[in-house]
C-alpha cells in the first residue's frame, strides 16, 4: 500500500527535486560579493538565492483515501477484498470530496485542494567561498540552505502558523585546476543530472509542476520528477571531473551506498555514478547540450526466505543473496534564436518511479523491477515573455511474482505516470511572474487510474 511505503516528499527527495550544483550554475551570474579579496587575504565570499510563492490548486480524481485498488473478485457482489496499490513514490491524494452525507473512504475520489507553496526550488540562501591557493589550484566551497514556505503536517493535520522546513541541502568543496577538479561533500549526484537540469532550465525554474503530493511540506516541489524525469538525489560523495576538452567533460563519483528496504539493506560496496557531458555555445543565448550517464550498486539481502514449492519463491532467497541495481540514461537540448527543444530518457533495474532504490525497486521474490522514462520539453523566449510545453512518462514493469495468483499480497503495481505540462512566464529584471500547469495520469497494472490537474500561479525573485 502507498501509505505503508516510502512516498516521495519534497523535503526528503524533492525531494528536493531541483537540487544542487546544476541549478546554481545557471544562477552564478547573480552572485553578490560579501567580501573584498584584497582585504581578506584572497578569500572571496558571495551569496545568491531566491524566494518564491505560488497559489497551487490540485483538482481531479484521486485514488481511494484508503490507498486500495480495484476489487480482487468483482464477480462476487459482497466482496470487499481489494488490491494493495504499490507506488508511485509521488502521490496525489488527500482532501477527497465526500459523495454524500457520509464519506465513503473507498469510492469518494474527487479531489479539490488549494495550497500556498514554494516552487520547484523554493526559498534558497547560498554562500559561495573561493580561494586561489596557487596559480593552478583553486578552492571552491558551497553552503546552501533551502526552506519551504508551506505549513507542514503534524499527526496528519496541517496546523496553523507552523514553522518552515529547512534543509541544509548543499555542503561541498572542490579543488580545481588545469588538471580537472576533485570534489567531495554533499551535492547533486550524476545519474540523470542532465535530464533534471533540462527540466529546470526549460520548464520549471519559474514554476511548480508536479507538487509531489497534496500535502507536501518540504523545501521544493517536483517539476517533472517521477513524470518522465528521474531525480538525481543529493548524496555524500567523492568524485573527479576531467578538464573540458572540445566541449566534452567526464565526471565520475563514488557515492554513499543506499538501501532498498529492511530486507535488502546490506551494502558491501560503494555506489558508483558517472556522466559524460557536451556543451557548445554559439553566441548569445544559442547553445547545444548533450549527456550520457550511468549508475551501479550492489545491494545485499539480510534475511533468508525459506523455499516454498508451488509459490513464486520455490527455491527461497538465501540470506547472502546480492543484486546489482543499475541505470543508464542520456539526452540533449539546444537553443536557437530564442527557441529551445530537448529530450531525455533513462532505463534500469532496481530504480523506482522517481528515484533509484525507490519503493517499487524490488519484489518479494528478489527480482529487481524494470523502470524506464522519457521527457520532452519545448521552450520559446520572446523578449521578456517565455512559453514552454512538456510531455513525460515514467513506467514500471511487473515481475513474474507480481503477476502470480499465489502472491499473498495481491499487489497492483504502478504501470505508468504520465504528464503534460505548460507554462507562461514574464520576466521583470530579478522578478518573474508565471502560471504553469500539469495534467497527470496514473495507471496501475490491475486497471486502477487516477487523474489530477495542477494549476499554479505566483512569482519569484532571484539574486
Residue pLDDT, tens place only, 207-250: 999 999 888 777 889 999 999 999 998 999 999 999 999 999 99
Question: What is the tens place of the pLDDT at every residue in 350-362?
Answer: 999 999 999 999 9
- pTM for the model: 0.91
| 21 — pLDDT class (breaks 50, 70, 90) | very low
What local confidence, expressed as pLDDT, does residue 284 receive? 87
Question: What is the tens place of the pLDDT at every residue in 316-342?
Answer: 899 999 999 999 999 999 999 999 999
Average pLDDT in the 447-460 region?
96
Task: Please give the DSSP secondary-structure letter assigned to residue 368.
Answer: B
What local confidence, expressed as pLDDT, does residue 19 receive? 37
Asked whether residue 124 carries a pLDDT value surpassing 50, the answer given is yes
182 vs 125: CA distance, rounded Å:
24
Average pLDDT in the 122-133 region?
95
Q: What homologous superfamily is domain 2-462 in, according to CATH?
A: Porin (2.40.160.10)
Top mean-pLDDT range of 74-78, 184-188, 219-223: 184-188
What does the block give as the cell for 115? 495550497
Query: Which strand (E) or helix (H) includes residue 328?
Result: strand 322-336
What local confidence, expressed as pLDDT, does residue 1 receive? 36
Lowest-confidence region among 188-192, 307-311, 379-383: 307-311
What local confidence, expressed as pLDDT, does residue 30 receive? 66
91 vs 7: CA distance, rounded Å:
7
First to last CA, the chain: 43
List, in sequence order, every residue forming a beta bridge with 416; answer none if it has no partner: 395, 443
What local confidence, expressed as pLDDT, does residue 447 receive? 94
What local confidence, expressed as pLDDT, does residue 329 receive? 97
Asked whether residue 173 carries a pLDDT value surpassing 70, the answer given is yes
What local confidence, expressed as pLDDT, does residue 23 receive? 42
CB-based contacts of 355: which residues, under 8 Å, 6+ apart?
A: 8, 13, 15, 89, 225, 230, 231, 233
210 vs 220: CA distance, rounded Å:
10
| 3 — pLDDT class (breaks 50, 70, 90) | very low
| 54 — pLDDT class (breaks 50, 70, 90) | very high
What local confidence, expressed as pLDDT, does residue 179 receive? 97
Question: What is the tens place of the pLDDT at every residue in 387-406?
Answer: 999 999 999 999 999 998 87
Asked whether residue 14 carries a pLDDT value surpassing 70, the answer given is no
Asked whether residue 313 carries a pLDDT value surpassing 90, the answer given is no
Closest C-alpha to 60, from 98, 105, 88, 92: 92
Asked whether residue 18 carries a pLDDT value surpassing 70, the answer given is no
169 vs 148: CA distance, rounded Å:
12
Lowest-confidence region among 60-69, 183-192, 415-424: 60-69
**Cα dist from 74 to 2, 71, 78, 82, 442, whole Å:** 22, 5, 9, 9, 21
| 125 — pLDDT class (breaks 50, 70, 90) | very high
What local confidence, expressed as pLDDT, does residue 67 receive? 81
Asked whether residue 6 carries a pLDDT value surpassing 60, the answer given is no
Asked whether residue 24 carries a pLDDT value surpassing 70, the answer given is no
What local confidence, expressed as pLDDT, does residue 7 receive? 40
Nearest-5° Cα angle at 374, 358 to 183? 60
Amino acid at each position: 500500500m502507498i501509505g505503508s511505503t516510502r512516498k516521495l516528499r519534497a523535503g526528503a527527495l524533492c525531494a528536493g527535486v531541483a537540487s544542487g550544483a546544476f541549478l546554481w550554475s545557471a544562477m552564478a551570474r547573480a552572485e553578490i560579493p560579501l567580501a573584498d579579496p584584497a582585504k581578506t587575504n584572497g578569500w572571496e565570499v558571495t551569496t545568491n538565492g531566491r524566494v518564491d510563492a505560488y497559489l497551487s490548486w490540485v483538482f481531479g480524481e484521486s485514488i481511494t483515501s484508503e490507498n486500495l485498488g480495484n476489487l480482487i473478485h468483482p464477480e462476487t457482489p459482497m466482496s470487499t477484498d481489494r488490491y494493495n496499490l504499490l507506488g508511485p513514490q509521488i502521490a496525489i491524494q488527500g482532501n477527497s470530496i465526500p459523495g454524500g452525507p457520509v464519506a465513503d473512504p473507498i469510492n469518494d475520489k474527487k479531489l479539490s485542494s488549494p495550497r500556498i507553496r514554494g516552487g520547484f526550488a523554493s526559498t534558497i540562501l547560498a554562500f559561495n567561498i573561493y580561494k586561489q591557493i596557487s596559480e593552478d589550484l583553486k578552492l571552491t566551497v558551497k553552503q546552501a540552505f533551502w526552506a519551504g514556505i508551506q505549513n507542514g503536517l503534524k499527526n496528519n493535520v496541517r496546523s496553523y502558523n507552523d514553522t518552515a522546513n529547512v534543509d541544509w541541502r548543499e555542503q561541498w568543496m572542490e579543488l580545481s585546476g588545469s588538471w580537472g577538479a576533485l570534489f567531495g561533500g554533499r551535492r547533486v549526484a550524476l545519474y540523470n543530472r542532465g535530464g533534471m537540469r533540462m527540466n529546470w532550465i526549460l520548464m520549471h525554474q519559474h514554476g511548480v509542476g508536479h507538487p509531489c503530493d497534496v500535502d507536501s511540506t518540504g523545501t521544493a516541489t517536483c517539476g517533472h520528477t517521477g513524470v518522465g524525469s528521474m531525480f538525481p538525489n543529493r548524496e555524500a560523495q567523492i568524485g573527479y571531473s576531467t578538464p573540458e576538452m572540445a566541449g566534452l567533460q567526464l565526471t565520475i563519483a563514488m557515492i554513499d551506498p543506499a538501501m532498498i528496504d529492511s530486507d535488502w539493506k546490506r551494502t558491501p560496496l560503494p555506489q558508483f555514478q558517472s556522466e559524460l557531458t557536451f556543451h557548445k555555445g554559439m553566441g548569445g543565448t544559442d547553445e547545444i547540450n548533450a549527456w550520457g550517464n550511468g549508475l551501479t550498486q550492489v545491494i545485499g539481502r539480510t534475511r533468508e526466505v525459506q523455499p516454498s514449492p508451488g509459490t513464486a519463491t520455490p527455491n527461497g532467497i538465501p540470506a547472502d543473496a546480492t543484486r546489482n541495481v543499475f541505470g543508464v540514461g542520456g539526452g540533449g537540448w539546444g537553443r536557437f534564436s530564442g527557441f529551445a527543444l530537448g529530450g531525455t530518457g533513462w532505463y534500469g533495474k532496481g530504480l523506482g518511479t522517481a528515484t533509484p532504490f525507490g519503493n517499487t525497486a524490488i519484489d518479494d521474490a528478489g527480482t529487481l523491477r524494470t523502470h524506464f522514462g522519457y521527457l520532452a520539453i519545448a521552450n520559446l523566449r520572446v523578449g521578456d515573455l517565455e512559453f514552454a510545453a512538456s510531455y513525460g512518462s515514467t513506467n514500471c514493469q511487473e515481475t513474474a511474482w507480481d503477476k502470480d495468483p499465489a502472491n499473498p499480497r495481491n499487489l497492483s503495481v504502478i504501470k505508468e505516470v504520465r504528464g503534460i505540462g505548460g507554462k507562461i512566464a514574464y520576466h521583470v529584471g530579478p522578478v518573474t511572474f508565471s502560471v504553469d500547469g500539469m495534467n497527470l495520469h496514473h495507471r496501475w497494472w490491475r486497471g486502477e487510474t487516477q487523474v489530477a490537474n495542477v494549476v499554479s500561479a505566483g512569482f519569484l525573485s532571484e539574486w
